[in-house]
């Protein structure tokens, strides 16, 4: 693997290449298996050590062995060498290994090219603002490395970086134009594998004690909402998710149901809002109770849950309406009512006994509900995120022993009591509340707002919402979970009640992120059409788009060229004429490197191109006379000599 000296890589370029390799691979460490990051880090360290000690790079066989180990490892880990994760892992290891064969300019060019490509791969994993900033600056670094490779050590590192930064800045307008005008495809250009979405928390389709309490510890955002009118009071913000009707004594599950359209009677005007849901891998939406009219792809199932045709695998925006005051299914199927009275036979005997005694004393369902709520509001019940463990009969244990619990405990106990007392009841899960960001006016609903409440059916009124948690802890519903928690219980910093600068900062950052999501990442074909319409291109097909793109990019190029020409150091007239003469000579395959003096050029041509030499010498003499003598010359001689150049 010998290289000609002209292609050999100078030692000073190596730190640039190391920096490029490191900056383009480092963020992948976050989602790669640990052994892979360790392997890459070891290779980095090894290559750095060899460079530092100026020692020989390893030969062919160690490298082949290393490649085999890396490929084997990736194959074992991912079961494939292709696809997003395995492919990126291979690229990262290869980037590190390339540092072990940094011999020639060619090797360095491979690193730079690979660096540019690796930049792209980070967008498979994250499209947030910090990622964008990191990649933009890394791109500048890669460009600087390229400049350093071609320009040698003449410029200082700072000057090289400045130059690369300038190039990046010049690329920005083109980037913007391409972003806005390039024909957009609905959905991602290439299908991202499922694992892009794994590890997301959110409401699940069933409820057992503890599920929601875990969610409450997460400050992650579940969805953001913008109301057309002033937002309703916090106590009215019930975001309806799956309804759970089947109970096995411990866990609540939804009951697969026939598609019988729900009957809604609106008692208040529809409230319009727009919600942006984070991907949660489920088909249901979290719509404000009760959902009104729904756009195209959405349907309402029989339990009033808005459902999408396909699971939400990416952040999506919906325009919805809600009816805050409603009657739901005043007439209900007997089968449905029966289903919502069912209880497992042997579970929670004490609770059933209690409910039975209530019913004998008071047959009116609404009074029964009041009785249960009164029970919860008694002094002995407490609201806490850290309830004691419950035994075989969880509702019995909760009601008669521990009396400490979270929304799911109260909802579950309430529904069990109601069913035992002969009132049809079921659990509704979703989110409750939300916090208005004062910076951009969006209402932010977090995982910590996850909630469970109950719905009971009264003849003549239909399904009616009852929130037993509100009975035990009214502030949970009115002020949010942070206000409801007893002092001393751990809550993530993000959702604690605070009014300090950190809180303000968090609001600002979330507003910026939201704007990024709404306007940058959410720039879809419809938005593009909208924008083009406003620009006077109402029905742009791809031809119009291409033409517009070409025109704008061309104009930009012209502007930048004009600016560069304007900024170019003003050459004095003699130097300009000399440049002209050099251009002429270049056409005759005579090249003059920038460091070669005119006289040296003339002398060289005496040997190389004797026929040309005398004419060139005349130009050289006239040029030197005009430029270096200090005598103001009218350049006539120089012009004449250049004209006589063959």
What is the Cα–Cα distance from 21 to 26, expressed in whole angstroms?
Answer: 8
> What is the x/- site pattern for another protein, positions 533-572, by CB under 8 A?
---------------------------------------x
* Cβ distance to another protein smaller for residue 488 or 630: 630
* Strand pairing class (443-446; 435-436): antiparallel
Is-catalytic flag, 592? no
Candidates 64-72, 188-196, 303-311, 626-634; binding stretch for another protein (CB under 8 A): 626-634
β-bridge partners, 429: 452
Candidates 181-189, 222-230, 260-268, 598-606; binding stretch for another protein (CB under 8 A): 598-606
C-beta atoms surrounding 235 within 10 Å: 15
Tokens of 132: 């964008």
Is-catalytic flag, 150? no
What is the nearest approach in angstroms of another protein to the Cβ of residue 575? 7
Write out the E strands in 399-461: 404-405, 425-432, 435-436, 443-446, 450-458
What is the Cα–Cα distance from 270 to 254, expressed in whole angstroms?
Answer: 28
Closest of 519, 494, 491, 518 to residue 506, by C-alpha: 494
Give the active site residue among 107, 407, 409, 592.
407
Candidates 220-228, 279-287, 434-442, 625-633; binding stretch for another protein (CB under 8 A): 625-633
Asked if residue 617 binds another protein (CB under 8 A), the reply is yes
What is the nearest approach in angstroms of another protein to the Cβ of residue 1? 24
Asked if residue 600 binds another protein (CB under 8 A), the reply is yes
Candidates 189-197, 340-348, 485-493, 624-632; binding stretch for another protein (CB under 8 A): 624-632
Asked if residue 620 binds another protein (CB under 8 A), the reply is yes
Contact residue for another protein among 258, 629, 634, 643 (CB under 8 A): 629
C-beta atoms surrounding 197 within 10 Å: 15
What is the nearest approach in angstroms of another protein to the Cβ of residue 592? 10
What is the nearest approach in angstroms of another protein to the Cβ of residue 626? 10
* Cβ distance to another protein smaller for residue 190 or 595: 595
- C-alpha dihedral sign at 48, 53, 54, 56: negative
* Cβ distance to another protein smaller for residue 366 or 606: 606
Residue partners of 157: CB distance under 8 A and separation at least 6: 144, 148
Asked if residue 441 binds another protein (CB under 8 A), the reply is no
Burial class (CB in 10 A: 0-12, 13-18, 19+), 519: exposed
- Helical (H) or strand (E) element with 173: helix 157-181
What is the Cα–Cα distance from 358 to 362, expressed in whole angstroms?
Answer: 6
What is the Cα–Cα distance from 516 to 511, expressed in whole angstroms?
Answer: 9
Asked if residue 602 binds another protein (CB under 8 A), the reply is yes
- Burial of 154-170, coded b for 16+ CB within 10 Å and e otherwise, reads eeeeeebbebbbeebee
What is the nearest approach in angstroms of another protein to the Cβ of residue 149? 15
* Strand pairing class (462-466; 450-458): antiparallel
CA-to-CA separations, 142 to 105, 526, 624, 644, in angstroms, rounded: 15, 35, 41, 47
Give the count of residues interacting with another protein (CB under 8 A). 27
Candidates 129-137, 295-303, 548-556, 621-629; binding stretch for another protein (CB under 8 A): 621-629
Closest of 9, 23, 92, 14 to residue 48, by C-alpha: 14
CA-to-CA separations, 85 to 31, 37, 75, 80, in angstroms, rounded: 9, 13, 11, 9
Is-catalytic flag, 553? no
Asked if residue 630 binds another protein (CB under 8 A), the reply is yes
* Cβ distance to another protein smaller for residue 242 or 598: 598
Give, rounded to a whole angstrom, the gap between the first and last alpha carbons of the chain: 45
> What is the x/- site pattern for another protein, positions 321-360, by CB under 8 A?
----------------------------------------
- Helical (H) or strand (E) element with 353: helix 349-361
Asked if residue 195 binds another protein (CB under 8 A), the reply is no
What is the nearest approach in angstroms of another protein to the Cβ of residue 612? 15
Asked if residue 593 binds another protein (CB under 8 A), the reply is yes
What is the Cα–Cα distance from 481 to 494, expressed in whole angstroms?
Answer: 12
Contact residue for another protein among 627, 638, 641, 642 (CB under 8 A): 627
Burial class (CB in 10 A: 0-12, 13-18, 19+), 133: exposed
Asked if residue 595 binds another protein (CB under 8 A), the reply is yes
Asked if residue 624 binds another protein (CB under 8 A), the reply is yes
In the block, which residue shows the tokens 């502030």? 475
The helix/strand/coil state of 425 is strand
What is the nearest approach in angstroms of another protein to the Cβ of residue 606? 9
What is the nearest approach in angstroms of another protein to the Cβ of residue 189? 44
C-beta atoms surrounding 146 within 10 Å: 22
* Cβ distance to another protein smaller for residue 324 or 638: 638
C-beta atoms surrounding 148 within 10 Å: 26
Footprint of another protein on 113-172 (CB under 8 A): 152-156
Footprint of another protein on 1-40 (CB under 8 A): 12
* Cβ distance to another protein smaller for residue 205 or 633: 633
* Cβ distance to another protein smaller for residue 62 or 151: 151
The helix/strand/coil state of 171 is helix
* Cβ distance to another protein smaller for residue 15 or 183: 15
β-bridge partners, 318: 275
What is the nearest approach in angstroms of another protein to the Cβ of residue 600? 7
* Cβ distance to another protein smaller for residue 77 or 633: 633
What is the Cα–Cα distance from 128 to 325, expressed in whole angstroms?
Answer: 39
Asked if residue 364 binds another protein (CB under 8 A), the reply is no
Contact residue for another protein among 77, 440, 621, 633 (CB under 8 A): 621
What is the Cα–Cα distance from 426 to 419, expressed in whole angstroms?
Answer: 9
* Cβ distance to another protein smaller for residue 272 or 624: 624
Count Cα atoms within 13 angstroms, Cβ side, for 149.
Answer: 26
Candidates 165-173, 220-228, 294-302, 617-625; binding stretch for another protein (CB under 8 A): 617-625
Footprint of another protein on 565-584 (CB under 8 A): 572, 575
Asked if residue 594 binds another protein (CB under 8 A), the reply is yes
Give the active site residue among 393, 396, 451, 592.
451
* Cβ distance to another protein smaller for residue 84 or 604: 604
What is the nearest approach in angstroms of another protein to the Cβ of residue 8? 14
What is the nearest approach in angstroms of another protein to the Cβ of residue 620? 7
Asked if residue 597 binds another protein (CB under 8 A), the reply is yes
CA-to-CA separations, 644 to 38, 229, 575, 581, 640, in angstroms, rounded: 68, 81, 18, 10, 6
Catalytic residue list: 407, 451, 467
Contacts with another protein by CB under 8 A lie at 12, 152-156, 572, 575, 593-600, 602-603, 617, 620-621, 624-625, 627-630
């Amino acid at each position: 693997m010998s290289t000609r000296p002209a292609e050999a890589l100078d030692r000073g370029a190596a730190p640039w290449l190391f920096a490029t390799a490191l900056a383009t691979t480092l963020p992948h460490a976050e989602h790669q298996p640990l052994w892979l990051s360790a392997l890459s880090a070891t290779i980095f360290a090894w290559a750095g050590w060899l460079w530092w000690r100026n020692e020989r790079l390893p030969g062919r066989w160690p490298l082949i062995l290393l490649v085999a180990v890396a490929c084997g490892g990736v194959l074992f880990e991912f079961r494939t060498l292709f696809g997003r994760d395995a492919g990126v892992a291979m690229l990262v290891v290869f980037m590190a290994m390339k540092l072990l064969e940094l011999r020639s300019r060619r090797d360095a060019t491979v690193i730079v090219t690979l660096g540019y490509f690796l930049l792209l791969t980070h967008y498979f994993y994250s499209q947030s603002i910090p990622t964008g900033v990191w990649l933009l600056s890394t791109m500048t670094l890669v460009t600087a490395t390229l400049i350093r490779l071609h320009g040698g050590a003449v410029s200082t590192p700072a000057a090289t970086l400045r130059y690369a930064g300038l190039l990046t800045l010049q690329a920005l307008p083109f980037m913007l134009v391409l972003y806005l005008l390039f024909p957009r495809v609905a959905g991602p250009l290439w299908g991202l594998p499922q694992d892009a979405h794994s590890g997301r928390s959110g409401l699940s389709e069933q409820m057992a004690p503890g599920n929601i309490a875990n969610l409450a510890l997460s400050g992650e955002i579940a969805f953001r909402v913008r109301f057309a009118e002033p937002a309703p009071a916090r106590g009215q913000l019930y975001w309806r998710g799956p309804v759970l009707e089947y109970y096995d004594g411990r866990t609540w599950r939804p009951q697969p149901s026939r598609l019988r359209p729900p009957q809604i009677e609106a008692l208040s005007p529809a409230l319009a809002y727009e919600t942006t849901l984070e991907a949660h891998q489920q088909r249901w939406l979290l719509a404000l109770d009760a959902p009104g009219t729904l756009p195209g792809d959405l349907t309402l199932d029989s339990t009033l849950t808005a459902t999408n045709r396909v699971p939400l695998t990416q952040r999506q925006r919906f325009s919805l309406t809600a009816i805050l005051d409603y009657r739901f299914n005043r007439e209900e199927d007997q089968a449905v009512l029966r289903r919502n009275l069912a209880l497992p036979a042997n579970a929670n005997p004490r609770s059933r006994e209690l409910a039975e005694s209530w019913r004998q004393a008071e047959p009116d369902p609404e009074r029964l509900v009041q009785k249960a709520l009164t029970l919860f509001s008694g002094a002995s019940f407490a609201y806490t995120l850290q309830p004691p463990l419950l035994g075989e009969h969880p509702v019995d244990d909760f009601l008669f022993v521990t009396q400490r619990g979270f929304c799911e405990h109260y909802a579950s106990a309430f529904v069990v009591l109601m069913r035992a007392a002969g009132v049809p009841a079921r659990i509704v899960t979703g989110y409750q509340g939300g916090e208005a960001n004062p910076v951009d006016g969006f209402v932010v609903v977090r995982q910590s707002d996850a909630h469970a409440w109950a719905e009971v059916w009264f003849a003549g009124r239909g399904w009616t919402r009852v929130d037993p948690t509100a009975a035990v802890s009214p502030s949970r519903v009115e002020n949010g979970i942070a206000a409801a928690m007893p002092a001393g219980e751990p809550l993530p910093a993000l959702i604690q009640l605070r009014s300090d600068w950190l809180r303000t900062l968090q609001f600002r950052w979330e507003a910026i992120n939201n704007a990024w999501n709404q306007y940058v990442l959410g720039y879809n074909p419809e938005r593009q059409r909208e924008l083009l319409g406003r620009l006077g291109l109402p029905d742009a097909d791809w031809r119009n788009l291409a033409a517009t793109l070409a025109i704008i990019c061309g104009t930009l190029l012209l502007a930048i060229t004009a600016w560069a020409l304007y900024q170019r150091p003003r050459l004095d007239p003699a130097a300009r004429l000399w440049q002209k003469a050099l251009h002429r000579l270049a056409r005759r395959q005579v090249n003059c490197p920038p460091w070669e003096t005119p006289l040296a050029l003339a002398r060289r041509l005496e040997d190389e191109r004797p026929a040309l030499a005398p004419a060139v010498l005349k130009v050289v003499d006239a040029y030197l006379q005009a430029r270096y003598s200090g005598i103001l010359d009218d350049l006539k001689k120089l012009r004449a000599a250049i004209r006589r150049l063959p």
